[in-house]
Structures are given as C-alpha cells and as structure tokens.
Structure 1
C-alpha cells in the first residue's frame, strides 16, 4: 500500500471514528448531565435517542446523496457540520439546545460514515481488505474506548470536554481529506436533471417523516408517563398518534417504489429477518448494560466518572481482543457455535447483575462487563456472518443497510427499557429488575441460536 493510500485511509478513519466515539462517550456523561440540568434519566435519555434516530436516518440518506453530489463533498461537509456542532454544544443555554446540537452532530458524523467505506473501496485498489479491516478497527476501537475517554475528560474538565475533544480529530481529518481524497467525478446527466421532488421520492422523504415523528411521539408518550408517575390523557393521545404514524409508515413502506426501510425484503427472506431480529435483541442487551451501568455506578455506588470509565474499559477491551479470535473460529465452524456461546455469556452477565447488591465490591461489575464484552466480540463477527449466509448476493447491500437499522433500533429500545425500569431514580433494585429482563432476553437468544440450523440460514437451500 502506497503512502498516498495510507494517508487517505487515515484521513477517512479520523472522520468515521467520531460517530461511534460520540455515541459511546456519552454513556459516562449521563449522570453528570442529570445533575447539571436537574433532570431524571427518562428526560436525559433523549440525548441517546436523538443521536441514534438521527444516525439511522442520516446514514442511508447521505449514502444516496453522495451519488448525486459526490462522496468527497459529502465527507467534507460532514466534517464542517460536526465541527460546528462540537463547538456550539458546550455553549447550549439549556438541555433542549444541547439535543439540537447532538442531532446536528449525529448528522455530520453520519455523513462521513455513510461514504467513508465507499471512498476506501473506490480509491484504494491494492490490499483493499486490509484497508477495510483497519477502518473497522477505527470504528470498533472508538466505540470500545469511548467510555474511558469520556470518564477521563469529565473527571479532569467537565461534560463539555466530550464535545470539544472532537475538534482536533475534525481539523486533522479535514486538512488530510481536502488533499488526499480525489476530486469527485462529474455526476451523470440523469442525476443532474433530477428535480427536487424526484430527489425527495428517491430518499423516501414521506417514509422518513412518518418514521421519525411516529417514533419520537411514541417514545415521548411512554417516557413522559414514566417520568411523571401517572398516565394522563395527553400522554395517551401522543403515544397513540405515534403508534398510528408508525403503522402508516409500515403501510407506506410496503407500497412505495424506493422505501427508506425495505420491509418487503423482510417478508421475502424470513431467514434474514430472523438474523435482524436477533441482532436487534443483542443490541438491546448490550446497550442496556452499556448505558445503564455507568449511571448506576455513579448514582448508586458513587463511583467517579474517571473510575467508571476505567471499569467500562474492560467491556471494550474484551470485545476488541475477542473479535479477531471470533473471526478465525467462525471461518472454521460457522456462526452457530459462536452465537450460542455469546448468548450464554450474555445470560451469565445478566444473572450477575441480578446478584449484585449494595455491599458487592464495585470491581465485581467487571465480571458482567467482561461477559458482555466477549459476547459483543463474538456477535460483531458472528451476526455479520449469519447475515451473509442468510442473504442472497444480489441484495447484500440492502441487507447490510437493514442490519445497521436493526442495530439502531436495538440501541433505541435499550434506552427506552432503562428509562421505563429505572425512571427518575437509579437503584440496586432497579438494576436487579433490569438484570431479570435482560436474562429473559438472553435465554430467548440461546433458544434462537440453538434452532439456527433448523431455520435453514442459506436461502439457496430452499
């Protein structure tokens, strides 16, 4: 690989790592934000919801936009948007403005993720697999060390530092990308002649609007009811409106020619659908621990942000160490065994949460973190292998997009679960209830993994 290719890869890597880094650093900052803005977890959890909802929408949309406007332009624009959001977020006069800048940050970082892999695939022709694996390390490594970095920054400075730390990465990536990413090719005449209305149809603006407003309304109705401690008429109305809009979204997606989420693909390939359902549940489990445990440690056990970050590092390190081992194991024996072990580890980690009590040594949480970290390393490879095995080659691009959507939905559901279980006050009893729910989900995943062969993963065998 030549020097130009290496610098190109570094410029792209510095940009795409910001999405997972910012989605993971926030886990250690939630407790501090609760204190600063005097809000309970159900309200502060919108800083999680907003980021993942915006990312889930922005990544596929920006992928399509890159075909029209050019990948280099989208990548550079993403850097500028992220820079502005990171600079203005610490100046937020209230929590509402912080959510706005968090959404802008999610859109900016998603613009880079949406085209980063494509830039490497197009412009690095030698040792391409190695280049893509290095980018994967940027993504997984940033997510793994995010809580540790967040803990250190908040301990020595304040919550605003988790936004300002992006600026050196953004400046370095911008300077390198401006020079190293080749100029975009001129768009085709078909794209140039495309009207604004056709562009809206291409990205399925109606579907995006129904999905976004419906999901936000449903979440708002559920969480506001939990936060207030009682169910009012307006909360029911908002929740019902959200549910109706989501049903309208499903109906629209089944009919439109260019759906935002191609639901018809799920109906056509049931084996692939099961993989996505499992992946969504895996992410419910993982992110319930990822976002719930730091707040428990800080609010209930009074562990500092710095030491919380160190404890959470065991989760990320276990995941990083296991991923390459999992790759060799799955290459030899397929994904089924690895996914069974993964589900059992998550069940063990969830049971460990149930057994934790006020007098348990705080270091003991590392056992649950290690179990989930190893499990995550197995899932990162195993679920992807299961997806490839269950998806026909001609729709692998669509399948990968649906796979990422399942990840985001699982993350959103995990925050909703924490909000409903914990409410306005984290407690040992709340963690125990959360552990019981996670154990039930993990055992269901064990059952699904054991039945994997009977579901005939390969569509060619049907």
Structure 2
C-alpha cells in the first residue's frame, strides 16, 4: 500500500470514527444529563433514541445522495455539520435543543460512515481487504473506548466535553480529506440537474417520512405512557398514529420501485431474513447492557464517571481482542460454532446480572463485561459471515444495507426496553428485571445458533 493510500485511509478513518464514538460516549453521560436538566430516566433516554433513529435513516439516504452530489462532497459536508453541532450542543439552553443538535450530529457523522467505505473501495485498488479491516478498527475501536473517554471527560470537565472532544478530530479529518480524497463525479444513473421531485423518488422520501413518523410516534406513545404511570387517550392516539404510519410504510415499500427498505427481499431470501432477526436480537441484548450498566454503576453503586469509564473499557477491549481470533476460527469452522459460544457467553453474563445484589464487589462487573465483550467480538464477525453465506452475490449490497438497518433497529429497541423497564427512575430492581429479560433473549440466541448448527449438519449430509 503506497503513501497516498495510507493518508487516504487516515483521512477517512478520522471521520468515520465520530459516529460510533459519539454513540458510545453518551452512555456514561446519562446520569449527569438527568441531574443537569432535571429529567426522569425515560425522558433523558431520548439522547440515545434520537441519535440511532437519525443514523438508521440518514446512512442509506446519504449513501444515495452521494450518487447525486459526489462522495467527496458528502464526506466533507458531514465534517462541517459535525463541527458546527459539536460547538453548539454544549450551549443548548434546554434539553430539547440538545436533542436537536444531537440529531444533526448523527446526520453529519452518518454522512461519513455512509460513503467512507465506498471511498476506500473506489480509490484504493491494492490490498482492499487490509484497507477495509483498518477502517473497521477505527469503527470498532471508537465504540470500544467511547465510554472510557466519556467517563474521563465528564469527570474532569463535565458533560459538554463529550461534544468539544470531536473538534480536533473533525478539523484534522477535514484538512486531510480536502487534500487526499480525489474529486469524483456522480454516477451516470443520476445527474445534478435532476429535479427535486425525481430525486425524492430516487431516495424514496415518502418511505423515509412514513418510517420516521411511525417509529417516533410509537416510541413517544409507549414511553409517555410508561413515564406517566397510566395510559391516556393521548398516548393511545399517538401510538395508533405510529401503527398507521408503519402500516402505510409497509404498503408503500411493497409498491415503489426504489424502496428505502426493500421488504420484498426479506420474503425472497428467508435465510437472510433469519440472520437479520438474529442480529437484531444480538444488538438489543448488547446495547441494553451497554447503556444500562453505566447507569447502574453510577446511580445504584455510586461509582464515579471516571471509574465507570475504566470498567466499561473492559467490554471494548475484550471485543477488539476477540474479533481477529473469531475471524480465523470462522474461516476454518464457519459461523455456527462461534455464534453458539457467543450465545452461551451472553447467557452467562445475563444470569450474572440477575444474581447481582447491591453489595456485590464492583470488580466482579469485569467478569460479565468480559463475557459480553468476547461475545460481541464473535458476533461482529460471525453474523457478517452468516449474512454472506445466506445472501446471493447479486444482492450483497442490499443485504449489507439491511444488515446495518437491523443493527440500528436493535439499538433503538434496546433503548426502548430500558426506558420501559426503568420508567422514570433507574433502580436496582429494574436493573434485575432487565437482566431477566436479557437472559431470555440470550437463551433464544443459543437456541437459534444450535438450530442453525443442526440444520447445517442436515444440509451437509
């Protein structure tokens, strides 16, 4: 790999790490934000919901937008948006404004993730697998160290620091990207002179709108009912609006020629559908722990943000160490054994949460975090390998897009699960209930992995 290619990878890597970094740092900031803005746990959970909902929608949209405006332009625009929101978010006069800047931050960082891999694929023609694996380290590494960085920053400088820390990364990435990312032209399938109406049809703006309205309305209806402690007619109406919008979304996606989420693909390839469902459940479990455990440590055990970040670093480091080992194992044995072991580790970690009491040594948290970290490393590689095995080559691009959608939906559902279980205040009893639910999910994943193994053996015989 030549020097220009290395600098291109660094330029792109510094940009794409901002999305996972900002999604993970906030897990340590929840208790502090709850105190600063005088909110209950359900309300402050929207700092998580908003980011992932926006990412789930923005990434495929910006991927298509890059065909119209060029990948370099979208990447640089994303850096500008990330810079502005990182400056303005700490100055938010209210939590509502903080959510607005958080959504804009998600859109800006999603621009870079959506086109970063494509830039490397197009402009680095030698050792592409090595280049893509390096970018994967930027992504997984940023997510792994996010809670640690967040804990240190909040401990010494307060919650605004988790936004200000983005600025040096943004500035350096912009300067390097301006110099190293080659200019590109839109693909021949679209033109810059395309009308707004045609472009909206291309990106399926109607589908995006229906999906957004439906998902947000359902979340607001469910969380508002849980937070207030009773179900009012207003909650029911909002939830019904969400259900109607989601129904209209499904009907719309089945009709249009360029759907935002190609639902027909799921019906045509059931094995791929099965992988996406399994991956969704994996992310529900993992991110329920990822967002729930820091709040438990700080609000139940009164551990400082700094120490919480140190403990959470164990989760990310175990995941990073397990990933390359998982790659070699899966190359030899296929994804089934690794996913089965992952399910067993998640079950053990979930059972540990259930048996935890308020006097358990905090150091013992490291054991559960190690189990979940190793299982996450196995899942990241195993699920991707299972997807490739179950998806025809001619639709692998669509399959990868659906796979990422499953990741974000699982993350959103994990935040919803925590909000419903905890209600207005995070409690030890609620955390134990969460552990029971996660144990059920983990056992389901063990069964699904075992069923995959049995069905695979039958198929091979």
Q: What TM-score, normalized to structure 1?
A: 0.98
Q: Is 1:183 paired with 2:180?
A: no
Q: Is 1:24 paired with 2:6?
A: no
Cα deviation per residue 1:83-102 (whole Å; 9 max; x = unaligned)?
A: 00100000000000000000
Q: In structure 1, what is the Cα distance between the partners aligned to 2:183 and 2:408? A: 32
Q: Please name the residue that 2:12 is paired with.
A: 12
Contact 1:79 1:112 in 2 (8 A): yes
Q: Please name the residue that 2:381 is paired with.
A: 381
Cα deviation per residue 1:385-405 (whole Å; 9 max; x = unaligned)?
A: 000000000000000000000
Q: Please name the residue that 1:130 is paired with.
A: 130
Q: Please name the residue that 1:141 is paired with.
A: 141
Q: In structure 2, what is the Cα distance between the partners aligned to 1:455 and 1:387? A: 16
Cα deviation per residue 1:420-441 (whole Å; 9 max; x = unaligned)?
A: 1111122221111101000001
Q: In structure 1, what is the Cα distance between the partners aligned to 2:434 and 2:142? A: 27
Q: Please name the residue that 1:350 is paired with.
A: 350
Q: Please name the residue that 1:82 is paired with.
A: 82
Contact 2:214 2:243 in 1 (8 A): yes
Q: In structure 2, what is the Cα distance between the partners aligned to 1:326 and 1:177? A: 32
Q: Where do residues 126-275 of structure 1 align in structure 2 (5 Å cutoff)? A: 126-185=126-185, 188=188, 190-275=190-275
What secondary structure does 1:192 align onto? coil
Q: In structure 2, what is the Cα distance between the partners aligned to 1:97 and 1:173? A: 27
Cα deviation per residue 1:90-124 (whole Å; 9 max; x = unaligned)?
A: 00000000000000000000000011011111111
Cα deviation per residue 1:120-161 (whole Å; 9 max; x = unaligned)?
A: 111111111111110000000000000000000000001000
Q: In structure 2, what is the Cα distance between the partners aligned to 1:360 and 1:186? A: 58
Cα shift at 1:368: 1.2
Question: How many residue pairs get matched?
Answer: 460
RMSD: 1.4
Cα shift at 1:198: 1.0
Structure 2's unaligned 5+ residue stretches are none
Q: In structure 1, what is the Cα distance between the partners aligned to 2:278 and 2:379? A: 10
Q: 1:195 to 1:384 in 2, by over 3 A?
A: same
Cα shift at 1:244: 1.3
Q: In structure 1, what is the Cα distance between the partners aligned to 2:228 and 2:114? A: 38
Q: 1:457 to 1:148 in 2, by over 3 A?
A: farther
Q: Please name the residue that 1:397 is paired with.
A: 397
Contact 2:299 2:426 in 1 (8 A): yes
Structure 1's unaligned 5+ residue stretches are none
Contact 2:68 2:190 in 1 (8 A): no
Q: In structure 2, what is the Cα distance between the partners aligned to 1:457 and 1:252? A: 39
Q: In structure 1, what is the Cα distance between the partners aligned to 2:263 and 2:125? A: 34
Contact 1:53 1:408 in 2 (8 A): yes
Cα shift at 1:229: 1.1
Contact 2:276 2:406 in 1 (8 A): yes
Q: In structure 2, what is the Cα distance between the partners aligned to 1:457 and 1:219? A: 41
Contact 2:42 2:423 in 1 (8 A): yes
Contact 1:271 1:455 in 2 (8 A): no
Q: In structure 2, what is the Cα distance between the partners aligned to 1:289 and 1:111? A: 27
What secondary structure does 2:191 align onto? helix
Contact 1:75 1:116 in 2 (8 A): yes
Q: Please name the residue that 1:323 is paired with.
A: 323
Contact 1:391 1:458 in 2 (8 A): no
Q: Please name the residue that 1:304 is paired with.
A: 304
Q: In structure 1, what is the Cα distance between the partners aligned to 2:419 and 2:90? A: 25
Q: In structure 1, what is the Cα distance between the partners aligned to 2:457 and 2:305? A: 44
Cα shift at 1:194: 2.1
Contact 1:37 1:95 in 2 (8 A): yes
Q: Is 1:429 paired with 2:429?
A: yes
